[in-house]
Every structure is written in structure tokens, then in C-alpha cells.
Amino acid sequence: MIKSQRQLGDKARRRRAAIIEAALVMFAERGYEGASIRDVSGLLGINEASLYYYFASKDALYSAVLGEHIFQLDFLDVSRTDHPEAWLQNLATSYLENLDAYRRVTSIVVAEAFKETQHPAVAAFEEQLDMRRKTLASLLAKSGQRDADWLANRFFSGLFGAWALEMHFGGRPWSNAQVEAFIKRFVRDLLQAAEPLK
């Protein structure tokens, strides 16, 4: 019987999380077709039977990888502030704190996008991401921000590109202060670009 997260103890939850992270690496490197349960268990140094205790199949594992890494907007507590700039800065901070995982998930989704038949989890992932874009657009519109759809779409599409350019030309590693300055600059520039649209 496959146990749900609620039924798992702390040690088992950590093991499940480790399996998902290892699978993320394998699926990002080899794609859904190229990666196997044996690859994931080998990366962790566990036997395949142990992995099947947590996931019934490769399909279930793949779905969990995408499901666990969908970008969450839950931390956007609008009761604390009515300033879109603060929401966008919080969102960007969360995004960049989880950058490596999001980059791998994005590579999985992009690889699947070019296939004739996509895995159902990819469509579900894209729907969830679209829902989060719409949630952000709705919050921006309620705050009085015009062309909130454009701003939300631009936020999600622009953050990775801007960060990649900064990392390429600016070098690494960055201090927390440098990351914070980048986020403030990105959000400020984004909101200024939206000004002519008002």
C-alpha cells in the first residue's frame, strides 16, 4: 500500500522529499522517457523496492516532482499591505530562493512541450502556473493597477531572464544584499514599464 504524506513520519517525509529531489535531477537530465526508477534509486543509494514504498510507479513519481515544485503564491498575504511593489518583491524573493529547483522543473516542462504527446502532469503543471499568474493579476487589479494581466505575465516571464543576465555578467556568488537589490531593481523597472500602460 502506498502511503500518503499525512501517514508518513518525519523520517519517511524526509526520505520522500529526497526521492523527489533525486527524481527532479534525473528527469531534468534525461527526460521522462530517459530516466528510470533504477536511476533515481541509484542516485540515492537505495534499492528500487524502497522507492516503490513511496511511489507506485515512475508516472506517480513524475507527477509528484512537478506537483511539489509548482510555484506557490500562498505567502502573498494581502492583508499586510496594499502595495503591489511589496507583493512582487516577496514573490521574486521566493522564486530566487528556489531557483535551482525551478530551473530544473522548467527544463522538464520545456522538453515535454516539444513532444507529440505530453505527460498529463505537464499540462497540470502549466494549468497551475497559469492559475498563479491569474491570481497575481487579480490581486494587482484589485489594488488599482491597470493592465494587471500584462504586469503579471511580464513578471513571470521576465524574472528568470533578468536573473540569468545578471548572473552571467555580474558573476557569483551574490550576497543576500545583492540579491535583495536585484529584486528591488527588477520590480521597480517592471512597475515603471507598466506606467505608460495606465
Q: Residue 168: its pLDDT value, please?
A: 54
Ordered domains of the chain (ranges, CATH): 5-68 (1.10.10.60), 84-197 (no CATH)
- Phi first, then psi: give them for residue 146, nearest 5 degrees: -80, 155
- Distance, in Å, from the CA atom of 81 to the CA atom of 83, rounded to the nearest integer, reads 5
- Computed from CA positions of residues 133, 138, 140, 141, in that sequence, does the dihedral angle turn out positive or negative? positive
Place of cell 498529463: 120
Q: What is the pTM of this model?
A: 0.65
Distance between terminal CA atoms of the chain? Answer: 56
- Distance, in Å, from the CA atom of 64 to the CA atom of 137, rounded to the nearest integer, reads 27
Q: pLDDT tens string for the chain (198 positions)?
A: 445 555 568 888 899 999 999 999 999 888 888 999 999 999 999 999 999 999 999 999 998 888 877 654 454 555 555 677 887 888 787 777 776 676 777 777 777 777 777 778 777 777 877 888 888 888 888 888 878 888 888 887 777 667 666 655 555 556 777 778 888 888 888 888 876 544
Spell out the residues 6+ positions from residue 86 whose beta carbon is closer than 8 angstroms to its own. Answer: 80
